[in-house]
C-alpha cells in the first residue's frame, strides 16, 4: 500500500495542504503516524476522498482533448459537406420562390385582364340603361 506525506499528497495534486489538514481534523481522512513521528496518508484514502490527483486528471483530460481534436477534424469535414448541401438547397428554394412569385404576378395580370373585359362587355353602350343595348 502506497503511503505519502501530506506535502507529497498536496504536490501530487490530490488537494491543498490546508484542505488535507482540515479533512484530517474533521475525521473524513485517516492517517497513520510512523515511529519517527511523521504523519503518512494512504494513497487509497486520498483517491477515495479526492479522486485522482490533478496531474493525472490533467494527463487524462489532455488525452481526451487530443482524441476530440482528431475526431473534430472529421466533424469539420462533415459539417462543411452539410453546409454545402444546405447552401445548394437554399439557392434552389430561392429560385423556386422567385418563379412562384412571377407565376402569381402573371396570374393576377390575367385575372385583371379578364375582369376588365367583362366590365367593358357589360356596360351599356347607348346610354339607355341596361335594357337599352338589348334592342
pLDDT tens digits in sequence order for the chain, 135 residues long: 588 888 888 888 888 889 999 999 998 988 888 899 898 998 888 888 888 776 655 555 666 676 666 677 778 888 899 999 999 999 999 999 999 999 999 999 999 999 998 887 776 555 565 665 555
Q: Of all helices (H) and strands (E), which one includes residue 114?
A: helix 54-122
At 57, list the grid cell: 486528471
Three-state DSSP class for residue 106 = helix
Amino acid at each position: 500500500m502506497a503511503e505519502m506525506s501530506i506535502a507529497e499528497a498536496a504536490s501530487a495534486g490530490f488537494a491543498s495542504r490546508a484542505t488535507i489538514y482540515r479533512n484530517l481534523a474533521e475525521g473524513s481522512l485517516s492517517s497513520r503516524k510512523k515511529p519517527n513521528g511523521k504523519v503518512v496518508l494512504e494513497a487509497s484514502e486520498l483517491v477515495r476522498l479526492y479522486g485522482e490527483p490533478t496531474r493525472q486528471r490533467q494527463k487524462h483530460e489532455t488525452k481526451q482533448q487530443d482524441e476530440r481534436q482528431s475526431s473534430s477534424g472529421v466533424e469539420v469535414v462533415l459539417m462543411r459537406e452539410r453546409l454545402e448541401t444546405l447552401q445548394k438547397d437554399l439557392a434552389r428554394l430561392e429560385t423556386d420562390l422567385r418563379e412562384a412569385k412571377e407565376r402569381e404576378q402573371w396570374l393576377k395580370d390575367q385575372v385583371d385582364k379578364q375582369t376588365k373585359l367583362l366590365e367593358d362587355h357589360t356596360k351599356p353602350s347607348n346610354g339607355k340603361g341596361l335594357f337599352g343595348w338589348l334592342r
